[in-house]
Amino acid sequence: SFLVRWPSSLFSLTNQSLVEAIGVDQGSNLVMTDHIDVFEGADQVLVKPTYQSVLPGSRPGPLTVIDPAYFYSNYLAWDFAAQNSLYGWAYPVPPVAGNPAKLHVVGNPIALNPLRLGLPGNNFATVVPANGILAVTQVTLGSPSMVQTGDIAFLIPASVTPQSLILSQLVVLKKIPWSQFSP
């Protein structure tokens, strides 16, 4: 399966929509970003309401995307010194001071100006546009009938041979909103 991104707008949001934003944590549940994703109906299985710090700005130790609780509960090696020297796909930024704190939020819109998302725990986050611009896309699960000539595709190959191409990720970018699409 793959994903399709459709252009959308804040005005298409309902209080049943799920909105995902990842951006710079400005403190006090304020997220600054230039893009949000919207999930409607059955496509909401792709996300769940969440409030998660992605890159804590004042982290005392090394940056890692690996959950330490998993390592401790499974008695695996957990080498902080070695992780401090790592940098690559699993460690997206080097462990140096000055990286901005990031925040990942998913919730239902409760206000549009400014955009406020209802979060778990009877809380909310305010999403503000970076540089005054906020791009909005609706994300849906894709099917081959949705792909048309002129669409843009983002793909990551997992294996390539002269006869085949196996993908680990495929996202199709559409030029028209989902509501205007007819296969």
pLDDT value at position 27? 87
pLDDT value at position 62? 45
Q: What is the pTM of this model?
A: 0.77
Give mean pLDDT, residues 134-157.
95
pLDDT by residue (tens digit) across 112-131?
A: 999 999 999 999 999 999 98
Phi, psi dihedrals of residue 67, rounded to the nearest 5°: -75, 115
SS3 164: coil
Q: At 3, list the tokens.
A: 């994903």
pLDDT by residue (tens digit) across 4-17?
A: 999 999 999 999 99
Q: Which residues contact 167 (CB under 8 A, 6 or more apart)?
A: 2, 155, 156, 157, 158
Give mean pLDDT, residues 49-72.
60
Q: List the beta bridge partners of residue 33.
A: 129
pLDDT value at position 57? 56
